[in-house]
Amino acid sequence: MSSGWLSCWSGATVERAGLALAGALMLGSGCSSGDAAEPGDAVQRSTPAGGGAQAGNPVAGAGGNVSTDRSSQAAAAALTAETNAGCSAIAPFYWEIGDSGESLASGNVGSEPPGASTVMAIASASKWLFGAYAVQKLGAEPDAMTVPFFNLTSGYVGPESCSASGNVNSCLGGAGVQTAAEVGRFFYAGGHLQKLASLLGIGADDNAALATEMKSQIGSEIELAFSEPDPAGGVRMSAAEYALFLRKLLVGSPTPLLLGSMLGAHAVCTNRLTCPTATASPITGTPSAPESWHYGLAHWIEDDAAVGDGAFSSAGAYGFYPWVDKQRSVYGVLAREVPATGGIGYGSAVCGRAIRKAWLSGVAQ
C-alpha cells in the first residue's frame, strides 16, 4: 500500500486504520497484506472587493464562453427558474447561485416554496459532505486502496439497517460484508461510505457525535444534523448552510477544503446501459434521452456527451440538488423536499443545470 493518507496520522492510530482499510478491500484487490425572497422574486447581491468577478465584468461560462454582466446573469437565471419546462415540473423550490465569497442571486418558485433557511432532509447530497470530511480527515488525496469507498466501487453494497437511535456501526447491516462480484463495479449505495466511516474510527458515533465530527473537518460554522447515523444519506440542513460548504470547494475560497482541487478525479462510468463496469445508478436520463455521467470522490460529474457541461453535483432522492460549475467559479443549490418516488433528484438536476446555463451564459433557457 502506498503511504497516501497514512502520512497524516501517526503511531497506533495509523497502524490500526491502515490495516483496517487494507483488509476491507483485500477480497477484491488481490492484495497480500439567509432569508428567502418572496415567491417569484429573484435577489441579486453585490460582490465585495476581491470576491470574484464584479458586476459588469465578463465571467467565464460553460465551454469557455463569456457571459454578460451580473444583473443580466441574475435575470436570465430567474426567468429560467420561473418559465423553463423542467423547472415548472418540479416547483415549488428555492434556488441560489454564488461565488466563493457570498450568494449572488436567489429566488423562490411555486406555491409555498422553501427558503434559504428551511431545514430539510437532503438524502444523497450528504455524500458530498461526507466525502469532503473524509478527505480532510485523511489529510491528502485518497490512495488506491481507499478510492473505491469514495467512488462507490468497493463492493460494500449490501442493505443498510439504520435507526435514529443507532450508531454508524449498527447502521452497516448487510453493507458490512463485501460482495466480491461487485468489487470494481459502480454500485450507487450508501454502504461504501458507511463502511469507510467505520474504518476511519467513528463507528461508535450516534447522530449528535457524527454531526460534531463532520463539522470538525468541513467547518464548525456549518449547521447540520443527522436524522440517522448514515453519512451517505442522513443529513438534515438548509440551502444556506450547504452553500457555506460549497464555497469552500471553489477556486479562491478563503477557507478551502482539500476535496475542491480533487473534483472530477478518480472518475468511473455509471450507466449500466453504456458502461460495462456499472451495476446500479439513479442517473440514466430518460428512455428517449439517456444520459451517462461519471462519479468521482463522493460526487457526480455531469459530463454526458450530449447535454453535460462538466459540472460537479450530488443530487438527493428528495430533490435537494447542490452543484459547482466545471471551472469551480460558482456554486448553486436547488432546494426542495418531496417523497422519494424515483427520479426526483434527476428532475432537480434537469432544472438546476438549466439555471446554471442561464447564469453562465446570461441567456434564459
Say whether 300 sits in a helix, a strand or coil: strand
Question: What confidence score (pLDDT) does residue 36 get?
Answer: 35
**Residue 350 maps to a domain:** no
Residue 21 pLDDT class (50, 70, 90 cuts) = low
Lowest mean pLDDT of 22-26, 319-323, 332-336, name the range: 22-26
Cα–chain center distance at 141: 17
Share above pLDDT 70 across residues of the chain, in percent, rounded to a whole number = 81
Q: What is the pTM of this model?
A: 0.85
Number of domains in the chain: 1
Mean pLDDT value across residues 117-144: 98
Residue 136 has pLDDT above 60, yes or no: yes
**Residue 334 maps to a domain:** no
**Residue 212 maps to a domain:** yes
8 Å CB contact between 311 and 291: no
**Residue 128 maps to a domain:** yes
8 Å CB contact between 167 and 202: no
Question: What confidence score (pLDDT) does residue 174 get?
Answer: 82
**Residue 87 maps to a domain:** no
The chain-wide mean pLDDT, for the chain, equals 85
Question: What confidence score (pLDDT) does residue 190 get?
Answer: 95
Alpha carbons 189 and 230: distance in angstroms, whole number = 11
Question: What confidence score (pLDDT) does residue 49 get?
Answer: 28
**Residue 268 maps to a domain:** no
**Residue 163 maps to a domain:** yes
Question: What confidence score (pLDDT) does residue 45 get?
Answer: 45
Question: Which of the given ranges, 19-23, 53-57, 150-154, 282-286, has the highest pLDDT on average?
Answer: 150-154
Say whether 147 sits in a helix, a strand or coil: helix
Where are the extended beta strands (E) located within the chain?
A: 42-44, 93-98, 103-109, 120-121, 186-187, 225-226, 235-237, 268-269, 278-280, 294-295, 300-302, 311-313, 321-324, 331-335
Residue 208 has pLDDT above 70, yes or no: yes
Phi and psi, residue 165, nearest 5°: -95, 0
Question: What confidence score (pLDDT) does residue 25 get?
Answer: 53
Say whether 183 sits in a helix, a strand or coil: coil
Question: What confidence score (pLDDT) does residue 282 get?
Answer: 94
Question: What confidence score (pLDDT) does residue 248 get?
Answer: 98
Mean pLDDT value across residues 64-85: 84
Residue 321 has pLDDT above 80, yes or no: yes
Question: What confidence score (pLDDT) does residue 35 get?
Answer: 35
**Residue 324 maps to a domain:** no
- Domain ranges, residue 150: 4-33+121-237
Tally: H helices and E strands in the chain? 10, 14
Q: Which of 120, 116, 99, 148 is nearest to 41 (CA)?
A: 116
Residue 265 has pLDDT above 50, yes or no: yes
Say whether 170 sits in a helix, a strand or coil: helix
